[in-house]
Structure 1
Amino acid sequence: MIYLDYAATTPISEKALNVYIEVSRKAFGNSNSLHDVGESAKALLEGSRELLASLIGGDARGIYFTSGGSESNVLAIQSLLNGVQPQKKHIISTMIEHSSIHTYLTFLQTKGYEVTFLLPDEKGSIDLESIKLALREDTGLVSIQHASGELGTIQNLQEIGELLLQHGILLHSDCVQSFGKVAIDVKAFNIAALSFSSHKVYGPKGVGAVYLNPSVYWTPTIPGTTHESGFRPGTVNIPGAASFATAAKEIYDNMENEHARIYQLRTYLFEKLSAYQNELTILNNENQLPHIIGMTINGIEGQYTMLECNRYGLAISTGSACQVGMQKPSRSLLALGMKPDQAKQYIRISLGKQTTMDHMDQLSTVLKDLISKN
């Protein structure tokens, strides 16, 4: 099977897997225990914290380990809201956020918060002017993802962060898709908090992290928690944290070269499909993660395309969720202005470390065959 769904998850790297196994054997202690076994585990945990912080230009005191990106998003948002003035009940976000954020912000609306969900342009970019217009005296938090896992569009966090800094408003960003793919500088972005995840960067599943700027005031979601300085309850997954840090260092060390290689693969696929411009609509934005390629094939539902690709040994995904066996158009795609029928035609191809030119040849052959039969 040729795997082309790296935006969903990535296979764990050999180095990260070996670290996970070794740490599980030798550093199994609870990092809160005061004996030597616990102290050994704590030292390894703090080293992992420092390494991750260094990759984003942050302070190790701001790294808190979680179970993954979704939990990171929820805990970061709620912890920041707990720390802002109680009258600041207005939140700004977008209609193209990950479901963990959109669902949680919708829940917060039932708890007295008011949320403004901004619409992107047709390529998925959030206009700075729309954020300016949405700002209010009672705005306490803005949560905007760095890059969309569905569309690949990268938002200008530095520009957004500078605007919010002028107004004294906190910025949270879901960086799950962008971490390890493009440079992140928490100081330049003026970020109060960001979320990221291990399994998107060839680390183990079930591990994530939040960076909370140590200068920003926040309070725990669950009072009385002792682990992770009160940010999250539960014994910390030391093997997962060490493996996550290892995988992240690997991907950062080769980020520039891999970015260029993936861009070549993307360009090559576009060239192979160039004769089918009338049948294909490809989302291609200059501010886009190169490894995510979104497209629609006119007249063919994305789920059918995905199943046909699977039949020929290619693993891709659709841009829509399936609930109770019924395909529904994606919220993000509808926000771009797509009609429901067009949104249902969307497929997402995402490239990674094992992707080759030969894989692009095979994919283009299958897609061309589908188009010719339509």
Structure 2
Amino acid sequence: MIYLDYAATTPMSEKALQTYVEAASAYFGNASSLHDIGSAAERLLTLCRRELAYIINGEERGVYFTSGGTEANILAVRSLVNAHRHRGNHLITTEIEHASLYHLFKQLEMEGFSITYLPVDRFGQIRLHDLQRAITPKTILASIQHANSEIGTIQPIAEIGQLLRRHGVIFHSDCVQTFGKIRIDVKKMCIDSLSISAHKIYGPKGVGAVYIDPRINWQPCFPNATHEYGFRPGTVNVPGIASFITAAQHICENIEAEQTRFEQLRRHFLAMIREKQLPITVEGHPHMRLPHIIGLSVHGIEGQYVMLECNRDNIAISTGSACQIGKQAPSRTMLAAGKSAEEAKQFIRVSFGKWTTEKDIDQLVSSLERISQQRKEFE
């Protein structure tokens, strides 16, 4: 089967798998145990923490490993909000955040917080003047994603970070889709807190991380937790973390080369769509976007039907974020970008990965051409 849903998840790389097996065999101890086997696991965990901090130009003491991106988002925001609630009750986010954050902010609203959901333009970007206007003396935190998982639009993170820092607002960014695809420098980007996940970069599922600048106070969500400096409870998954860091090292060594290759694949795909004159519109920002994620609207056909028809042709694509699959509601991202509910339901997402070839794309275009032709025949 042709896999074109890398934004949802990736297969583990051979190097990540090898590291997991070796670490699970040689470093199986509980990193909190005081005997030599536990101490060996703790030393490996420390090396992993140091390496991840190096990759994002952060501080080792600010790295906390989690069970994935969703937990990373929730624990980061809640831990920071808990510690700074005395300063105010106003929070800022966007209408197109990942479900883990969008629903968290809805829950925080029910708990008495005032939330501003920033609108986006038709390309899925926020406007800095909207952010500026949203800040009040009671604003304590803003959570704005680095890039959208459905259309790939990248937010101007450095400018956002600088603006928020001038106003003393803590800045959290969901970097799950961008880590390993864009160079992340928490100091240059003025990011106070970020979340990342292993399974988006050919690492294992069930592993992620939070970075919080050590200068910023946080309060644990789980009182008396002893693992990860009290950030979360539960025995630390040392083999999974070692595998995660191996995957991170490998993907970050090749960011520029992969970006170039993805751009070539993207140009080929869009050229084929134009050549075949398919009734498809490309969504997202024309320049500020991840090259490997392409959001598409297939005119007059529901995205779910297109996805199922592609599946019949042994091609795996998606209708948006995998966290929303099974829900019939149209894409929040498309609605926020100004689409009607009917138009938003025509959305599909194609995302490339390390094994994607031009031949795969040619077969996808042939499948889309067949689906479009079928629609014409029924009209």
> Match of 1:302?
303
Judge conservation of contact 1:279–1:298 (CA < 8 Å) in 2: yes
What letter corresponds to residue 210 of structure 1 in structure 2? V
Aligned runs of 1:252-267 on 2, under 5 Å? Answer: 252-267=252-267
1:197–1:298 distance in 2 versus 1, CA, 3 Å? same
Is the CA contact 2:151–2:284 (under 8 Å) kept in the aligned structure 1?
A: no
Structure 1 residues 150 and 46: CA distance shift in structure 2, 3 A: same
Q: Please show how residues 1-374 of structure 1 align to structure 2 within 5 Å.
A: 1-275=1-275, 279-285=279-285, 286-319=287-320, 327-374=328-375
The structural deviation recorded for 1:172 is: 0.2
- Larger mean Cα displacement after TM superposition, 166-175 or 363-372: 363-372
Q: Secondary structure at the match of 1:327?
A: coil
Q: Is the 8 A contact 2:278 2:369 kept in 1?
A: no
Quickly say closer, same or farther: Cα 1:324–1:140, change in 2 above 3 A.
Answer: closer
- Give CA deviations for 1:348-370 in whole Å, capped at 9, x if unaligned: 00000000010011111111121
Paired residues of 1:31 and 1:42 also in contact (CA < 8 A): yes
Compute the TM-score of the two structures, normalised by the length of structure 1. Answer: 0.97
Q: Residue 317 of structure 1: SS of its match in structure 2? A: coil
How far residue 112 of structure 1 moved from its aligned partner, in angstroms, is 1.0
Q: CA RMSD in A?
A: 1.4
Query: 1:86 offset after TM fit, Å?
Result: 1.5
Report deviation, 1:232.
0.6
Contact 1:320 1:327 in 2 (8 A): no
Structure 1 residues 321 and 242: CA distance shift in structure 2, 3 A: closer
Could you say if the C-alpha distance between residues 352 and 371 of structure 1 is closer, same or farther in structure 2, counting changes exceeding 3 Å? same
SS class of match (1:12): coil
Distance in 2, Cα, partners of 1:242 & 1:88: 39
- 8 Å Cα contact 1:76/1:193 also seen in 2: yes
Greater shift, 193-202 or 47-56, is seen at: 47-56
> Per-residue deviation at 1:324?
10
Per-residue displacement from partner, 1:136-167 (whole Å, max 9, x unpaired)? 11000000000111110111110001001111
Q: In the TM superposition, what is the alpha-carbon distance from 1:326 to its structure 2 partner?
A: 6.1
Question: Structure 2 CA distance, aligned partners of 1:83 and 1:322?
Answer: 29
Provide the C-alpha distance between the structure 2 equivalents of 1:254 and 1:179, rounded to a whole number of angstroms: 12
Say whether the 8 Å CA contact 1:320–1:344 is kept in structure 2.
no
361-370 or 347-356: which moved more?
361-370
Aligned AA (1:217):
N
Q: Which runs of 5+ in 2 are unaligned?
A: none
**C-alpha displacement of 1:59:** 0.9
- Paired amino acid for 2:307: M
* Cα contact 2:92–2:134 (8 A) shared by 1: yes
| 204-213 or 51-60: bigger deviation | 51-60
Is the contact made by 2:69 and 2:197 (CA closer than 8 Å) also made in structure 1? yes
The alignment partner of 2:328 has SS state of: strand
Contact persistence 2:8–2:322 (CA under 8 A):
no
How many Å separate the matches in 2 of 1:227 and 1:318?
A: 37
Deviation, 1:269, is 0.4
Which structure 1 residue ranges, 4+ long, deviate > 3 Å from structure 2?
275-278, 320-326
Give the counterpart letter for 1:63 in structure 2. V
Instruction: Give the distance between the partners of 2:350 and 2:321, measured in 1 at CA.
Output: 13
Listed one character per residue, the Cα deviations across residues 269-297 of structure 1 (whole Å, up to 9, x for unaligned) are 00011135571111142100000001011
Task: Give the letter aligned to residue 80 of structure 1.
Answer: L
Counterpart contact for 1:225–1:232, Cα < 8 Å: yes
Shift of 1:223: 1.3
Deviation for aligned residue 1:133:
0.7
Q: Which stretches in structure 1 are left out of the alignment for 5+ residues?
A: none
Structure 2 CA distance for partners of 1:267 and 1:284, relative to 1, 3 Å: farther
- Pairwise CA distance, 1:327: 2.2
The C-alpha deviation readout for 1:115-151, integer Å capped at 9, x for no partner, is: 1111100000111111001111100000000011111
Report the CA distance shift for 1:134/1:227 in structure 2 as closer, same or farther (over 3 A).
Answer: same
Could you state the TM-score of these two structures normalised by the residue count of structure 2?
0.96
CA contact (8 A) 1:321 1:329 kept: no
Distance 2:121 2:113 in 1: 26
For 1:342, give the aligned amino acid.
E
The one-letter amino acid paired with 1:149 is S
